[in-house]
Amino acid sequence: MKAPTVDLLREGTRVDVFEGGLKVSKACCSAVVLIRAQGRNVVVDSGAMGYADAVLSALGAVGLKPSDVDTVVNTHMHLDHIYNNYLFKKAVIYTPTSVWHVEDGNRVEMFPGVTDPGIRGVSFMDTPGHMEKHVAVAVRTAAGMVVIAGDAVRESVIDGGEVPRKYPLPHEYLESMRRIFDAADEIIPGHGPPIRGERLKRLRVKLKTLKQ
C-alpha cells in the first residue's frame, strides 16, 4: 500500500514587531498542509483571513479543488489557523474539542477524544501548552515521520532558551515539543520553514536544556 504524502501548500508566516510599546504580529498566517493517503485529501489548518486565494491557488497547483478535500484538521482554535475552513464545504472538520459534520446538517460531536482519524499512517498527538487544547498530526511517509505541529513548536522559543511565561501551560508546552522532536524526522511548524536535517538535530540538542 502506498505511503501517505505531505505537501506544504503554504508556509506559515508571522513577523513580530513593537509599536507604541505593544507587541504586534504582522503577516500572521498558519502553515497550510495537505496530506494524501488512502484516497483521502486532508488539509491541516486552513490559514488566516486574507489568504484564501493563496490557499486555493496552492491547492489547484497540486490538481485539487476545495470539494476534493474530505477532511480538515485544526491543530487549535486560533483564527490564523481556522479562518478558511469555510472553503471546504464537503469536509469533516476535526478540532481538538469537536468533530463537525457539515454535510450532515452541521452535526457536531463534542469532546469525542479522537486520537485516530481513521487513515492508515496518520495519527493525532495531544500537544497542550500553547493552548490547553492543541493537537499535532503525525504522518508516516515513505521518507520518515512528518509531524505537522501547529503552534506546539516554535523555533524562536528553543533558540531563546526559555518557554515564555505567557503560555497557558509552560510545562506541558515543553513536554509537547520534546515528544514531537523525539518522534519526527521532519517538523512543519505553524509559523516558519520546515525543520529537518541539521536544523532538526541542532534544535533537538538545544531543547534538552530549554527552561520553563
Q: Determine contact, residues 61/34, Cβ cutoff 8 Å.
A: no
- Residues 60, 124: Cα–Cα separation, whole Å: 26
Query: What totals of helices (H) and strands (E) does the chain contain, helices first?
Result: 5, 14
- Residues 60, 119: Cα–Cα separation, whole Å: 23
Could you report the per-residue pLDDT of 150-204, keeping only the tens digit for each? 999 999 999 999 998 888 899 999 999 999 999 999 999 999 999 999 999 999 9
What are 77's three cell numbers?
482554535
Position 151 scores a pLDDT of 97
Q: For residue 183, how far is the Cα from the chain centroid?
A: 15
- Residues 83, 97: Cα–Cα separation, whole Å: 17
Specify the pTM: 0.95
Could you report the per-residue pLDDT of 17-42, keeping only the tens digit for each? 888 888 788 899 999 999 999 999 99
H or E element in which residue 135 lies: strand 135-141
What are 176's three cell numbers?
509537547
Could you report the per-residue pLDDT of 104-160, keeping only the tens digit for each? 888 999 887 766 788 999 999 999 999 999 999 999 999 999 999 999 999 999 999
* Cross-strand pairs, 124: 137
Region label for 74, one of left (φ > 0), alpha (ψ between -120 and 50) or beta (otherwise): beta
Handedness of CA 19, 29, 185, 196 (dihedral sign): negative
What domains can be seen in the chain, in order of their start residue? 5-16+25-207 (3.60.15.10)
The residue assigned the cell 524526522 is 185
- Residues 27, 50: Cα–Cα separation, whole Å: 10
Write the single-letter amino acid at 58.
Answer: A
